[in-house]
Structure 1
């Protein structure tokens, strides 16, 4: 929403003109998403500004930067530089110990200073990399031979798959042959179908709860307060008819297809909440099928009884999503953290425990989708 408002604010600046923005949707999914965005705009909703949780990697970076600035800092007094405010309080002590134990900092009679590991990892160009907190999106370059095909979300390379890993780029499928994690390069060769794609939105964590729920509202009949073309009106009407079985005004639905082996929980909760729910309900979620912004794949043999037992105490045992250690390439300064703390930071940033609990508190309906 914020990026849309920014673009809208760049229009209509001349005297006598009106601010305007034209959406050109290329398929039904993007049309529904655009309508949902405009629905939120009509409700005067803007995403809240929330600091990323548990910035442990920034703690490591700041302590190293303080040593670089002051040359030496006391091993018991470094907290005073931030008035012992979290996360620079006693909770950061394990990070300092890790920096010392792994050569990022040297300890000389209680005084800490930059060590050889920090010089090797961050010392190029006068420690320029260490003094910059922000980094670009952790995208991977995809190559076939020496030809660059494009860039992809690293999640496509870290998620569990059965059999060959395949990507969708340039309108065709490619089989992954080699991944260079250090250089963020992925080598592929042509394949016959089965490729997958993912485009990052809101960083690398998919659509938000608010936007995905607004998409459900559109499918339930809500119209954005803007002028739609006749073609857009017709296409939205068709989408409402085609997806009528996966939305319900009184809660969410669990749909089993007519074959019986495809069971999907249509939460319409966004990527972070669904990641949290999939991790929490590991006993009844399909371990080999990925969730998305709108639904979670469940076990093919799921019954209503199994479902009730599976969610009975779920709100008391909310889990953070599991992340692959390979995803650490996207977290700057993760090398300066204990691996378990770096992965915990990524998991916290992928989670949305409050929205997951909201979904668990809703009404759930079992439906069987009949063959057309």
Structure 2
């Protein structure tokens, strides 16, 4: 029997008659039997690979055959826009068997939520982790009644959660929900290809302890998993990958006005500022263009995405907002300006193409000079980054999804949220609340979670009455604004001003842009949503900017970090400099000529006989020597901590460390700590030798992780860590220091 044969008969009928499908795709077929049996699962497939149906059809089958009632399925996504996009499709599927779908997030009105809670409850509820926790702590929602019938949780784009603090938060919230309803929940995660699927499944199930007591499997038919020894750049299904090199965004706009005319093109750029710049340039070239980035209002993004979906000859320019599975219709081309920071991100973007029969996946990379150059004569570092990423991809590499280390602040948040959720919790039996998550494990926190609980009590964040803990006055002061809403979100954003044209919201800009505005002909002009806006007034108290349209060119600026790449991508760059021709990648004449210049420029930084090259003072840098290891940003952060060990440890390193006798004191600081760690090299002091650097790195690597020198973190930096007020300052700084090394 096939998976199709196990589906509920009404679903079978509509799959054939309504959708017109001749059968199920491999992932959908393979998912039916384990999911209808109630197993946990991680479903892997490229973007548009049918993951939504692979999860929903078996779950709807269970719902119909087992007679589930009430809110029995939670469908969790990282983006509200993705939930909105999925609602229509899931409503159709559920309607085939007489079931309903509801959506609950921050943009849904209070009256609509009340109707779901007090009236006819949806069978499937689409929500975010933050909204789920809001339901659990709200005095207006009886969560045990409203959510007590939940049987299954489906987590879309699970990799986007697991590699972030939102993943720790989601894992803990699911554990609290299981504890509240009194039974385990089937957990189904969906993702594009990841580098460590079995680890991700274990995380999804609640950690190693939970994974041994729950049945689960990775389902990925036809997906070439990392380590299989098969290059995705070869074979009949290999995508079409091209690389070009241009000089400016104006040239990019000119090229796109002439290339792929009549097709629907999605262009990814690195920043919101670049979205605005390229969008304006395309408009000047007469191209029908739409924009999407996180600082546009939800309505503005929805307008662009809906219009783009209906057009056939147009361009949409976006940041990573369109990387996840939001449906923007059939797409002909993906153009990537610069290199995504990860192979995983590239695969997400590549998967937006090749959906229609007779089409194939494709991506045109465009390299530009400029901000990513290393401030020397070089102008093509972006081209090297692109080729390095493609080298790692062609070798079959995909990044593993690794939860952020030392989530002490999320553990503190969970204690406070649990107190809000029930009004109080037991200081004796509290561990059972988080039995289904690894968050509170000693190995994760590197301490007993009770130490965090004890700090919350002694600091007044929690107060106790016998064996019961409840919200304290200090927590009210720190997090009590807007009904503790700040306590229910695990991610932070820069302070934002809302931009209005009359009463219409255009989007948001950061406070740093407002502070840096300079007048143009007596006016302040913003660029936002592909248009220019004259500032009429700024309400600093309410953080609102009133504008009107302008014909003058405006300013676009948002904060951004420098390029950060992992070890495998950095090593790909090294291989390219050494002469590797990346298989399956076609270069234009311009790109091929520029690549020869790249190899000539960087050739002194690589060696076939050594993993690192030491360049003395004067070779590239007139004041300092350089250590070129091409080991990735995270590893270079570790090396910087090792080379600056005496400074980061205080007065001096303890004892004789066994360093080589080269005339430099064992406890000497070997590198400047104020340099930004790059993915390729670090600067070291002029008198330092290669042997000294190798010896210090070797010493660092022999230390247990908890005992290694940590980078200096300013006390002011803790304000960027969510929930820092619930921790001692030194613990908050330790979190930031540890995470800078990954």
| Larger deviation, residues 248-257 vs 60-69 | 248-257
Distance 2:697 2:480 in 1: 50
Q: Which residue pairs with 2:689 in the alignment?
A: 303
Distance 2:393 2:571 in 1: 14
Gap runs ≥5 in structure 1: 150-182, 184-196, 353-372
Q: 2:710 aligns with which of 316, 320, 326?
A: 320
Matched, 1:213 2:571: yes
Q: Which aligned pairs between 1:46-85 and structure 2 lie closer than 5 A?
A: 46-83=398-435
Aligned residues: 303
Q: Is the 8 A contact 2:626 2:682 kept in 1?
A: yes
Deviation of residue 302 (structure 1)?
A: 1.6
Distance 1:134 1:309 in 2: 39
Distance 1:89 1:25, change over 3 A: closer
Q: 2:639 aligns with which of 260, 266, 277?
A: 277
Deviation of residue 121 (structure 1)?
A: 2.1
Distance 1:280 1:255 in 2: 19
Matched, 1:350 2:710: no
Distance 1:254 1:66, change over 3 A: same
Q: Which residue pairs with 1:335 in the alignment?
A: 725
Matched, 1:18 2:360: yes
Q: Normalised by the size of structure 2, how large is the TM-score? A: 0.38
Distance 1:89 1:307, change over 3 A: closer
Distance 2:397 2:695 in 1: 37
Distance 2:459 2:700 in 1: 39
Q: Which aligned pairs between 1:236-251 and structure 2 lie closer than 5 A?
A: 236-250=595-609, 251=611
Tell me the SS of whatever aligns to 1:23.
Answer: strand
Q: Which residue pairs with 1:113 in the alignment?
A: 470
Q: 2:614 aligns with which of 247, 254, 258?
A: 254
Tell me the SS of whatever aligns to 1:242.
Answer: helix
Q: Is the 8 A contact 2:354 2:360 kept in 1?
A: yes
> Deviations 1:7-60 (Å, cap 9, x if unpaired)?
111112222112111111102111111111111221221111111111111100
| Larger deviation, residues 309-318 vs 271-280 | 309-318
> Deviations 1:248-280 (Å, cap 9, x if unpaired)?
122211101337732000111111111111111
Q: Is the 8 A contact 2:642 2:696 kept in 1?
A: no
Matched, 1:263 2:625: yes
Distance 1:233 1:198, change over 3 A: farther
Q: 2:561 aligns with which of 180, 184, 200?
A: 200
Distance 1:232 1:301 in 2: 39
Tell me the SS of whatever aligns to 1:243.
Answer: helix
Deviation of residue 123 (structure 1)?
A: 2.0
Tell me the SS of whatever aligns to 1:12.
Answer: coil
Deviation of residue 4 (structure 1)?
A: 1.3
Gap runs ≥5 in structure 2: 1-342, 370-379, 443-447, 497-509, 520-542, 544-557, 645-668
Distance 1:2 1:303, change over 3 A: closer
Mark the structure with the bigger radius of gyration. Answer: 2
Q: Which residue pairs with 1:96 in the alignment?
A: 453
Q: Normalised by the size of structure 1, how large is the TM-score? A: 0.74
Tell me the SS of whatever aligns to 1:52.
Answer: coil
Tell me the SS of whatever aligns to 1:245.
Answer: helix
Q: Which residue pairs with 2:512 in the alignment?
A: 142
| Larger deviation, residues 91-100 vs 80-89 | 80-89
Distance 1:145 1:19 in 2: 44
Distance 1:84 1:111, change over 3 A: farther
Q: Is the 8 A contact 1:142 1:148 kept in 2?
A: no
Deviation of residue 93 (structure 1)?
A: 1.7
> Deviations 1:142-188 (Å, cap 9, x if unpaired)?
24756289xxxxxxxxxxxxxxxxxxxxxxxxxxxxxxxxx9xxxxx
Deviation of residue 198 (structure 1)?
A: 8.5
Deviation of residue 297 (structure 1)?
A: 0.9
| Larger deviation, residues 311-320 vs 113-122 | 311-320
Q: Is the 8 A contact 1:53 1:348 kept in 2?
A: yes
Distance 1:93 1:50 in 2: 25
> Deviations 1:202-241 (Å, cap 9, x if unpaired)?
xxx9221111111111111112221111111111111111
Distance 1:119 1:98 in 2: 16
Q: Is the 8 A contact 1:208 1:269 kept in 2?
A: yes
Distance 2:363 2:436 in 1: 47
**Relative contact order (alpha carbons < 8 A, sep ≥ 6): 1 or 2 greater?**
1
Tell me the SS of whatever aligns to 1:147.
Answer: coil
